[in-house]
Chain A
Amino acid sequence: MCVNMDVDEARRVIEALIFASTRPIRAEEIAQVIGFDAETTTALIHQLKSEYDSMRRGIQVIEVAGGYQMATRPELAPYIEKVERTPKGQGLSRAALETLAVIAYKQPITRGEIEALRGVRVDAVLATLLERGLIREVGRKETLGRPILYGTTPEFLRYFGMKSLSELPELKMPGRSNTQPQSG
């Protein structure tokens, strides 16, 4: 691996790395490969991102789940779906989205706590969210019965196109301090 590359070469390598990666690749990983410091690497990645944007390419560089990834633009989805044989998965139900919102903001949280907030049983919804990899068990609450605690996954961030949980919009709690999502 060449660590003494010039900036032009580094740009090309960055593009290739992001393209080749099947998961969001972190700036530090790229920095390690090209031998540049993290700050310069991030600047170069953002330069590449802007180039794709300014040229209105069909591909964009997205920042998601703590890394960078190549992705198509949403408006081109109908064309991709003409050749893509895998059916587009169903979106989440309203109940699943609401449960997910509670988990995202209140994590780690037990099933009982979610149910107390939502007023309805959530076992089926939790099973769906677990199956789709959007939430996971993150531990047990040290209380009677040691109930399972749930939290969101990196897949949750990818699914909603977020860099991190800090991108969750601030909750508008009337009459009290706003709830900030916990990091994780």
Chain B
Amino acid sequence: MLMNLRKPQRGTGGVAGSELMDLLSRLEAREVDILEVSISDIAGRILDQAAIQLGHDIDIDSLSELLVTLSELMQLKVRKLLPPDAPTAPGDVSSIVLPQNCPEEGTGTYVDVDGEDGDHSEELLDRLMQYRVFKDAAAELERREEIWRNVYTRAGLAGPGPAGSEGMHPRAYPQAPDAGKGDGVLSKDVLLQLLDELREVLDADPEEALRHIPFEDMSIEDKMEEVMAQVEKKGVTTFRDLFSPYSTRLEIIATFLAILELIRLMKLNVSQEERFGKIIISKA
């Protein structure tokens, strides 16, 4: 007897997905036999749903996982159907002995395989069960995510620290004055702002007018010393002021890399007076 499966509704992983999870529970509870399940029916329904969703927000990951699970169910079913002494060599069909009353899909009695194959079936079923359990766990995480995505904290712009001890909630409410917490790590926002300012410095580069690029020999280490000397002299300065208006392009890049390195080494602090304000550099 075929299982009376529900009609498909919305969602790739939705109804067909929950139907599959439901089926796994019933298989585990031995309320239903794998031989009573029409895998092609379920696969058809999942694919029908996917077809309906084409052009919309289709979740390929979920869809492919459902199909993988289905193929494993199919493997489970095949193992139940085949006799335990099935030939192992591909193409060798001479030794196949069909069990008596070999059942067609969803009908008849099944061959209860013992020994290695039986163990393998158990293993497969076990894996499928674990898969279902983690699906449930993921649903719980999703529920928590939905709540906590709507909770804003006062986390600063500083990203997670090296040990993950410092940082922001992904959807935290950014606070401008704490742009850099001196942990040597810049958040994406501050980094983007730095790049914006760098672009402005480069755009204002007088070298644009030059027709040749002279060979320059400079090291990041030298620039780091220069930048530190400037910051120590001025106390607090802006990112822009660390670039000489007469710098060449190469010098600008070297200075920028030197600043990044000094931030990483926690020798410089980065802050902003207001959100999207000027980047302020001070000695850490």
A175 surroundings in chain B (CB, below 8 A): 28, 129
- The answer for the CA separation of A71 and B151 in the assembled complex, in Å, is 6
A77 touches B141 (CB 8 A): no
- The answer for the CA separation of A86 and B137 in the assembled complex, in Å, is 30
- Measured CB to CB, the closest approach of chain B to A80, in angstroms, equals 5
- Residue from B64, B142, B152, B160 with most neighbouring chain A CB atoms (10 Å): B152
Interface string of A76-98 (1 = CB under 8 A from B): 01001000111011011111011
- The answer for the CA separation of A159 and B171 in the assembled complex, in Å, is 9
B159 surroundings in chain A (CB, below 8 A): 133
| Cβ-based interface call for A141 (8 A) | no
| Cβ-based interface call for A23 (8 A) | yes
Nearest B residue to A162, CB-CB: B144
A172 surroundings in chain B (CB, below 8 A): 133, 136
A93 surroundings in chain B (CB, below 8 A): 59, 61
Cβ-defined partner of A22 (8 Å) among B28, B65, B140, B155: B155
Nearest B residue to A153, CB-CB: B164
B145 surroundings in chain A (CB, below 8 A): 91-92, 97, 159-160
Interface size range of chain A in the complex: 35 or more
Residues of B within 8 A of A (CB): 13, 25, 28-29, 59, 61-62, 64-65, 68-69, 72, 127, 129-131, 133-138, 140-142, 144-156, 158-160, 164-171, 173-175, 178, 181, 189, 275
Residues of A within 8 A of B (CB): 19, 21-23, 62, 69-75, 77, 80, 84-86, 88-89, 91-95, 97-98, 100-102, 104-105, 116-120, 125, 132-133, 136, 153-155, 158-162, 168-169, 171-175, 179
Known A94-B62, A117-B127; further 6 A-B contacts with Cβ < 8 A: A21-B154, A95-B61, A101-B134, A117-B131, A120-B61, A154-B165
Please name 10 pairs of A and B residues whose Cβ atoms are closer than 8 Å in the assembled complex, sorted by A.
A23-B155, A72-B151, A91-B149, A92-B145, A98-B137, A117-B127, A120-B61, A133-B159, A136-B164, A173-B130
